[in-house]
Amino acid sequence: MDVSQPSAAPSIPRILRVRREAGTRDPRRADARERPELPRSVRRGDESRGGSPREQAAARWAGVASLQSLAFETVGSPEPGPSHASGFRSRSIPTKGWCVVATYRVGYFVGSLSSTSINRILSRALIRLAPEDLELVEIPIRDLPLYSQDHDGNFPPEARALKDAIAAVQAVLFVTPEFNRSIPGGLKNAIDWASRPWGENSFHHIPAGVIGMSIGPIGTALAQQSLRGVLSFVNARQMTAPEAYLQYSPEVFADDGEVLVESTEKFLRDFMQEYREHVVRVLTVLPR
């Protein structure tokens, strides 16, 4: 008795051809019309230069980044737009999903109350060398009374102004001297006021940097370590590196903040750039 042989299974190419004819698109393949047009070297992972798959992937991402940068340059002068949800002063770009931050507002504390403080000179130098998108404003602490828990129910105007000033910035920078191997009492007093009353800590999650200058060779190292312990407790998000311990000399720092030694100027410029990157990283995940 003849037994009918089953018909052969259709080949893989025939299945794909039937799917295309039926208008069914393979979900694993993106329609080229839906992709952004990239340069040939970017689309192919810069195969003309060879390299491993990882290197080719890096080349593709570099190409995409360059196109995003080009988009920012070619959209023209943006009109002022609404403020970012984090409180940044921003400009709106007519490009879907992108926003360019114009300025990060940084409040700085000079730990010394002296009118001739060398750390005030350092603060002037930092303002000179800060990246253009950092706007540094001083948060004064001179007129604060001594903190007492008795005031928690009714803060004096000076303490309320301090908390309002911190609320108005996106980050803080402490420029402190060293007194008796620790921070000055005036600076600690200001931190105590700003962290109170309980549950209204002004330093919670705020990006923070620490720097200082002294006439001695240890350059406020112990004061900065003392300050870092306080900032850890009030939950400020500190930049832990690079550290900056500076020794003052009139041959290095002019009274107006000009840095007269090239290597010191470069160090402080790099410090402020690192601080700026720290502020951006913290605000990305913990917006204020």
**164-223 per-position pLDDT tens digit:** 999 999 999 999 999 999 999 999 999 999 999 999 999 999 999 999 999 999 999 999
Q: Is 148 exposed, middle or buried (0-12, 13-18, 19+ CB in 10 A)?
A: exposed
Q: What is the mean pLDDT of residues 112-121?
A: 96
- Is the pLDDT at 54 greater than 50? The verdict is yes
Model pTM above 0.95: no
According to the model, what pLDDT value does residue 39 have?
A: 46
**Nearest partner of 192 among 145, 224, 226, judged by Cα:** 145
Dihedral pair phi/psi, residue 210, rounded to 5° = -135, 135
- Is the pLDDT at 41 greater than 90? The verdict is no
Portion of the chain with pLDDT greater than 90, in percent: 64
- Dmax of the chain from CA atoms? 114
Number of domains the chain contains? 1
According to the model, what pLDDT value does residue 258 have?
A: 98
Q: What is the mean pLDDT of residues 150-159?
A: 96
Write the CATH number for 255: 3.40.50.360
According to the model, what pLDDT value does residue 51 have?
A: 57
Residue 27 falls within a domain, yes or no? no
Instruction: State which amino acid sits at residue 234.
Output: V
User: Which residues 6+ apart lie within 8 Å of 148 measured at CB?
Assistant: none
Residue whose structure tokens are 């980050």: 171
Residue 83 falls within a domain, yes or no? no
Least confident among 39-53, 204-218, 230-244: 39-53
pLDDT band at 64 (very low <50, low <70, confident <90, very high): very low
Contact 248, 116 (CB under 8 A): no
pLDDT tens column, 69-84:
433 333 333 333 333 3
According to the model, what pLDDT value does residue 10 have?
A: 52
Report residue 203 as tokens.
């330093």
Residue 46 falls within a domain, yes or no? no
Residue 92 falls within a domain, yes or no? no
pLDDT band at 102 (very low <50, low <70, confident <90, very high): confident
According to the model, what pLDDT value does residue 252 have?
A: 98
Task: Tell me if the bond preceding 197 is cis, omega within 30° of 0.
Answer: yes
> Residue 100: helix, strand or coil by DSSP?
strand
According to the model, what pLDDT value does residue 50 have?
A: 52
Residue 33 falls within a domain, yes or no? no
pLDDT band at 45 (very low <50, low <70, confident <90, very high): very low
Range of the domain at 196: 104-285
Which DSSP letter does residue 228 get?
A: H
Residue 259 falls within a domain, yes or no? yes
CA within 13 Å, CB half, 249:
8
- Is the pLDDT at 16 greater than 70? The verdict is no
C-alpha span between 112 and 117 (Å, rounded): 6
Residue 118 falls within a domain, yes or no? yes
C-alpha span between 234 and 251 (Å, rounded): 38
Contact 203, 166 (CB under 8 A): yes
CA within 13 Å, CB half, 108:
26
Contact 173, 106 (CB under 8 A): yes
Q: Is 126 exposed, middle or buried (0-12, 13-18, 19+ CB in 10 A)?
A: buried
Residue 62 falls within a domain, yes or no? no
C-alpha span between 239 and 203 (Å, rounded): 14
Report residue 169 as tokens.
């910035």
- Considering the chain, what is the average pLDDT of its residues? 79
According to the model, what pLDDT value does residue 88 have?
A: 37
pLDDT tens column, 222-231:
999 999 999 9
Least confident among 10-14, 153-157, 185-189: 10-14
**Nearest partner of 275 among 185, 218, 204, 211, judged by Cα:** 211
Rounded to 10°, the helix 185-195/221-233 angle is: 10
